[in-house]
Amino acid sequence: MTTVLDPTGERRPAERAPLPRPASLRGRTVGLLDIGKARGDVVLDRLAELLAADGATVRRYRKPTFARVAPLDLRQRITEQCEVVVEALAD
């Protein structure tokens, strides 16, 4: 079992097993979440190119600010529309 630390202010981290990774992203819908840090979009632009070239469908999302958790409606939209998500952080 892997312990995942969740930075949401829990006094005791919840124990969560990671979901299994798909063997391939070809044919999958991949969400790219820009958290709003400087140059995160540059990283995601290049990643989007690579994923699309490999046969993935790419959907882009952006948090209103990096200082807060993504709004519930954004998290729900990502959950409904994507099979895999990559979150970008850069500076």
Cα–Cα distance for residue pair 81/16, rounded to 1 Å = 23
pTM confidence score: 0.77
So what's the pLDDT on residue 90?
A: 64
What DSSP state is assigned to residue 67? T
Using one digit for the tens of pLDDT, what is the confidence trace for 49-69? 999 999 999 999 999 988 888
Cα–Cα distance for residue pair 24/84, rounded to 1 Å = 11
pLDDT band at 38 (very low <50, low <70, confident <90, very high): confident
- Mean pLDDT of the region 17-35: 92
- Mean pLDDT of the region 68-90: 91
